[in-house]
Amino acid sequence: MRLSLFIGLCLFANAVLAAAQPDPFPQVASSYLVELNGEPIWAKQPERRLPPASLTKLMTALLVLEQDHQDDEVTIKPSATHETGTRIGLKAGERFRLQDLLAAALLNSANDACHALADHVDGNEAAFVARMNRRAQALGMQHTHFTNACGHDQAGHYSTANDLSLLAHALLKQSPALDITAQKNLQISTLDGQRHYTLENKNALIGRYNGALGLKTGYTAKAGKCLVAYAKRDGHEVLLVMLHGKDRWWDAVDILDLAFDHARHTP
């Protein structure tokens, strides 16, 4: 009985100490979340609603992959060519493989490719955004609302670090996602072979950080520097969600390194 009481008191003391442990990265972002092997280990305001910029495209990618129509051919509509921000320069009437447009949306963060995917799945962006919000609710993303498919700053377009971790885990269940996001460069072309595009992954960790496999970057004037980073090393997995970060890449490296070090020293 005394031994059980002693063990219980030790466990309680350890829990109190863990809860009192200061945030190891208080200045890196307005909000962030770090998970090690699926369990949160550090966080700062993970429920704070903030604009997610192009991290929005993770939901677009999830919905596209859940349709399981990767062999589809997509004809570009004029609406996609009118997109602003980052684009690869699609032209109305061009035809692409769906998986190539998905790569353009995830690697280059191309808004025209993202919009073309929304048009293809639901006929227009508005209908697709309604699907995005339904799927967010189904995933338990209670503090997320989308108003566009690609991540533009708009009133009512927001998410949280916790919600984006739920989204990231759902996307990681779709094997083609990492096949794309782990690529440093990729070549795509129109189905008639007349135009070619070189895609360069905007995630600076890919090819430079040992174990980095994805998932998505984002930036707008209002959202600041955003990142969902996923890495695997020595049998451990680390997921980092960062909203409105500062020195995004160096901070991500420090956070991932410390998380993997934590894994090595934690039973």
| From 54, 77, 165, 216, active-site residue | 54
| From 57, 77, 216, 225, active-site residue | 57
Are 223 and 164 in contact by the 8 Å Cβ rule? The answer is no
Are 208 and 184 in contact by the 8 Å Cβ rule? The answer is no
Radius of gyration from C-alpha coordinates of the chain: 20
Our answer to whether residue 202 is catalytic in this structure is no
DSSP 8-state code for residue 27: T
| From 31, 109, 159, 165, active-site residue | 109
- CA-wise closest residue to 61 among 12, 128, 137: 128
* C-alpha to C-alpha distance for 80 and 95, rounded to whole angstroms: 13
Exposure on the CB side of residue 153, measured as CA atoms within 13 A: 12
Beta sheet of 224-233, edge-to-edge order: 39-44, 29-36, 236-245, 224-233, 212-220
- CA-wise closest residue to 241 among 61, 60, 30, 62: 30
Our answer to whether residue 54 is catalytic in this structure is yes
Element (H, E) at 256: helix 248-265
Our answer to whether residue 30 is catalytic in this structure is no
Give me the helix-helix angle, 98-107 and 57-66, nearest 10°: 160
What positions carry a catalytic annotation? 54, 57, 109
